[in-house]
Amino acid sequence: MLKYIIRRLVQAILVIIGVSFISFMLLHLTGDPVDLLVPLDAGPVARQEMRVALGLDKPLFEQYFRFMGGVWRFDFGRSIFQSSKTAMQVVGAALPNTLLLAGCAFVVALLISFPVGILSAVKRNTWIDRAGMIFALIGQSIPVFLLGTLFVWLFAVQLGWLPSDGMRDSRGQNLDDFWDLPRHLLLPSLSLGLFTTARQVRLVRSSMLEVLSQDYIRTARSKGLRQFMVLRRHALKNAMIPIITILGLDFATLLSGAVITENIFSWPGVGRAAVEAINQHDFPVVQAAVFVVALGYVLINLMVDLLYAYLNPRIRFG
């Protein structure tokens, strides 16, 4: 078990190094931020001035070593455009908002996919099952931006039940209202979460089906256990193992899917900060954002792997 953990840790570190390297290279090879920092008609002298000031005139490798040195301290340098903040501060300020959104989307996905998936598996081939699968198909087929836009149009403009966008009240009122934040969270979480919900429904269903066809389930039933106890005590736990693995990947995916949702719903998260930084070629902020998301991926998968090992004795002792 210990060897397993250590191996996973080392692999995680290697992944982080690789991602940092690639993000550094891609950024530097795809454009000159100076073009955006000076007016279009500024001329080569102004450009060079800016370039030197930002250290962009140094050779690529020197820039890279300075960069790698900083990565371990979570130091990506100053933002080029928001010069009073470090890149990590820019990303760090936005990160809690994205975690909140991704977390809620994740919970929404769980709350819907488990009951629907289990029900579909148990009532296999009935209309309930069919309805569940059609829901899954639709959910996976509609792109996030269309879903989000439709939700806003329906619930905010036509019905007026929910706010159109943003994290808190658009005019800065109702700040003491406890329900203000949840009201603003609802539509974006739904939009973001429905895609993974659809996929999870299928997964839960197929995993449950596989488990339900096992011998020990038949044994439990023949012992006289009620359906509910069968499901809870025996089926679900074993079905969870593959589900958890995918859930981990899903949560990490939510972090990146949040980019589009954050733009549709004006959610001030990492996705928006990253897109803005990419458009401006604010290198340090882009690298910080990519690093944070990659780190999130790696950590979550590490946790999932460890959880997996814990749940599945075959791995733990194998």
Partner 1 sequence: MKTKTRNLGLVMTALMLLGLLAACGDSTATSVPATTAAATSAAAATTAKATTAAAVATTASVATTAAVVATTAAGGVATTAVATTAATGTNPAVVYPPTLAGGPIDQIVFAQGVDPTTLDPNDHNETPAGNVLNNIYDTLIFWSPDLKLVPRLAESWKQLDEVTWEIKLRKGVKWQDGSDFSADDVKFTFDRYQKADRQPRPVQRRANLKSIKETKVVDPNTLQITTSAPFPSLPNQLAVEGIVSKKYGSGDKGDTILELAPMGTGPYKFVEWKKNDYIDMVINPNYWGPAPKAQKVRFRTIPDAQTRLSALQSGAVDVITNVAPELVDQLNKSDKTGITTAPSVRVIFIILNSLDEGPLKNAKVRQALNMAVDRDGIIKAILNDNGIKIAQPLTDRHFGYNPNISQYAYDPDKAKQLLKEAGYPNGFEMTFNFPNGRYLKDKEIGEAIASQWADIGVKTKTSSPVWTDYVGLINNRKQAQAYLLGWGNNTWDADNTLFTLLDKPKADVTVADGSVYSYWINEKAQKNILEAKTVSDVKKRESLYQEAEQIVHDDAAWVFLHQQKDIYAFNKAKIKWQARSDEALNAFEVAAAK
Q: Which of residues 252-281 bind partner 1 (CB under 8 A)?
A: 252, 256, 259-260, 263-266, 268, 272-276, 278-281
Q: Which of 2, 61, 160, 314 binds partner 1 (CB under 8 A)?
A: 160
Q: Is 11 in the site for partner 1 (CB under 8 A)?
A: yes
Would you say 107 and 250 are in contact if contact means Cβ atoms under 8 Å apart?
no
The alpha carbon dihedral of 285, 286, 287, 288 has a sign of positive
Q: Which of 88, 91, 94, 194 binds partner 1 (CB under 8 A)?
A: 94
Would you say 139 and 131 are in contact if contact means Cβ atoms under 8 Å apart?
no
Q: How far is CA 45 from the centre of its chain?
A: 43
Q: Find the binding residues for partner 1 in span 186-225 (CB under 8 A).
A: none
| CA gap 118, 124 in Å, rounded | 10
Q: Which CB atom, from 129 or from 169, has the smaller least distance to partner 1?
A: 169
Q: Which CB atom, from 106 or from 267, has the smaller least distance to partner 1?
A: 267
Q: Is 44 in the site for partner 1 (CB under 8 A)?
A: yes
Would you say 200 and 117 are in contact if contact means Cβ atoms under 8 Å apart?
yes
If we measure between CA atoms, which residue out of 102, 136, 108 comes closest to residue 254? 102
Written as six digits, the tokens of 101 are 């959104």
Q: Which CB atom, from 106 or from 265, has the smaller least distance to partner 1?
A: 265
Least gap, CB of 253 to partner 1 (angstroms): 8
Q: Which CB atom, from 220 or from 302, has the smaller least distance to partner 1?
A: 302
Helix axes 180-212, 87-122, angle to 10 degrees: 50
Dihedral through CA 80, CA 276, CA 57, CA 20, nearest 10? 100
Least gap, CB of 107 to partner 1 (angstroms): 23
Q: Find the binding residues for partner 1 in span 276-305 (CB under 8 A).
A: 276, 278-281, 286, 289-290, 293-294, 297-298, 301, 305
Q: Which CB atom, from 1 or from 14, has the smaller least distance to partner 1?
A: 14
